[in-house]
């Protein structure tokens, strides 16, 4: 176990990568070309590669349709090759994307039976344990396969684990270690790490540090939609709502993710532009209803945040926050449930105060 008490964030931060990376726009075009080239091919290895690439594009562009397409392919692949460990591995990844963690672990159990020494499967298991909030088990699982990965992969995994655990200084230590040890040319791994750190600093209310991380991610990959969206949130909180709106409008119009419409509704409401806020609030509400119907575990947390904020439905927020905690027993999930409980308590108290009274 790592003692985080003796690790603090370095004075110079964030460290720049000494490597020359592929231009982010070109890298995205290359990713698109790879996906197009694999569509229609049917070997197990090609399908597994396509699934991974679709998940990556979904992460970068915030495209839920890519995740759904990857899940369809993975289900079909398992149906056609029930004794292929790679098929179960691919399906475990897609199930993990949609927070269907118990089913993903079942798939990894099948991989273990078919291929007991598959290091990638063991790393995937560690990542799922981390996402569930089982941090000690995840750390032990990462440690068990540490010899089979490079320094960057090790540092990147531990960056995410300590960030999820809320140990910001320790996560920052491994983040800088990952930047120093990266030897690739793709900008995607580093941009995803930048984004992860930005989210962590947002949750700690360290908005300037969060902005630095999101800006770093966008410099690496300008089309990185979640980084653009979170940077807009930070800009609004730092008193720059017009800059935030300029980032959010294109995302809310083009994306199938409800988060951007939800953020527009919140920021416009705070600016007093209530009529426009209402339009985006209704759009976000409709999309969150669709997403929580189709993929309830995956979108319970963001939908709960929406209903606590511009959606103004504390009861629905509480229902989703409870579900979210059942799936992910993380500090953030517990905090969200507390917020939902507080909102419902406040609402009940308000109703009692404003309700009818009996007169003598």
Structural domains in the chain?
23-119 (1.25.40.10), 204-248 (no CATH), 256-350 (1.25.40)
| pLDDT for 128 | 96
With a cut of 50, say whether residue 9 has pLDDT above it.
Answer: no
The larger pLDDT score, comparing residue 314 to residue 143, is at: 314
| pLDDT for 83 | 82
Mean pLDDT, rounded, for 156-162: 93
- For 231, other C-beta atoms within 10 Å of its C-beta total 25
| pLDDT for 18 | 52
The larger pLDDT score, comparing residue 148 to residue 196, is at: 196
With a cut of 60, say whether residue 4 has pLDDT above it.
Answer: no
Mean pLDDT, rounded, for 213-236: 98
With a cut of 60, say whether residue 358 has pLDDT above it.
Answer: no
| Residue 144 binned pLDDT confidence (cut-offs 50, 70, 90) | confident
Predicted TM-score (pTM) of the model is 0.88
Integer Cα distance of 197 and 248 in angstroms = 21
Residue 92: closest CA among 130, 58, 46, 52: 52
| pLDDT for 148 | 57
With a cut of 70, say whether residue 5 has pLDDT above it.
Answer: no
With a cut of 80, say whether residue 146 has pLDDT above it.
Answer: no
| Residue 143 binned pLDDT confidence (cut-offs 50, 70, 90) | confident
| pLDDT for 119 | 87
Mean pLDDT, rounded, for 286-305: 97
Residue 106: closest CA among 119, 98, 95, 117: 95
With a cut of 90, say whether residue 97 has pLDDT above it.
Answer: yes
pLDDT cut 70: percent of the chain above it: 90
């Amino acid at each position: 176990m790592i003692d985080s008490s003796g690790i603090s964030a370095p004075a110079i931060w964030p460290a720049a990568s000494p490597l020359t990376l592929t231009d982010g726009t070109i890298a995205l075009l290359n990713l698109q070309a790879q996906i197009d080239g694999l569509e229609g091919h049917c070997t197990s290895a090609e399908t597994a590669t396509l699934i991974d690439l679709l998940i990556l594009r979904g992460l970068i562009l915030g495209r839920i349709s890519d995740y759904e397409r990857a899940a369809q392919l993975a289900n079909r692949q398992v149906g056609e090759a029930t004794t292929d460990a790679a098929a179960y591995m691919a399906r475990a990844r897609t199930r993990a994307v949609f927070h269907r963690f118990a089913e993903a672990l079942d798939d990894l159990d099948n991989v273990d039976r078919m291929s007991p020494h598959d290091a990638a499967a063991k790393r995937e298991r560690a990542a799922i344990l981390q996402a569930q909030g089982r941090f000690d088990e995840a750390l032990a699982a990462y440690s068990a396969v540490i010899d089979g990965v490079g320094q960057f992969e090790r540092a990147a995994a531990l960056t995410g684990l300590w960030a999820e655990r809320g140990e910001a200084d320790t996560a920052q230590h491994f983040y800088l270690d990952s930047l120093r040890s990266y030897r690739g040319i793709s900008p995607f791994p580093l941009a995803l790490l930048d984004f992860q750190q930005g989210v962590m600093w947002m949750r700690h209310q360290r908005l300037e540090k969060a902005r630095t991380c999101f800006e770093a991610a966008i410099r690496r990959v300008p089309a990185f939609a979640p980084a653009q969206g979170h940077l807009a949130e930070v800009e609004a909180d730092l008193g720059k709502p017009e800059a935030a709106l300029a980032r959010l409008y294109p995302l809310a119009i083009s994306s199938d993710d409800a988060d951007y419409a939800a953020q527009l509704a919140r920021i416009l409401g705070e600016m007093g532009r209530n009529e426009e806020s209402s339009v985006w609030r209704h759009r976000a509400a409709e999309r969150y209803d669709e997403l929580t119907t189709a993929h309830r575990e995956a979108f319970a947390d963001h939908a709960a945040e929406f209903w606590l904020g511009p959606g103004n439905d504390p009861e629905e927020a509480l229902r989703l926050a409870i579900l979210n905690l059942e799936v992910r027993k993380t500090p953030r999930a517990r905090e969200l449930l507390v917020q939902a409980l507080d909102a419902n308590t406040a609402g009940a108290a308000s109703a009692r105060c404003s309700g009818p009274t009996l007169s003598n």
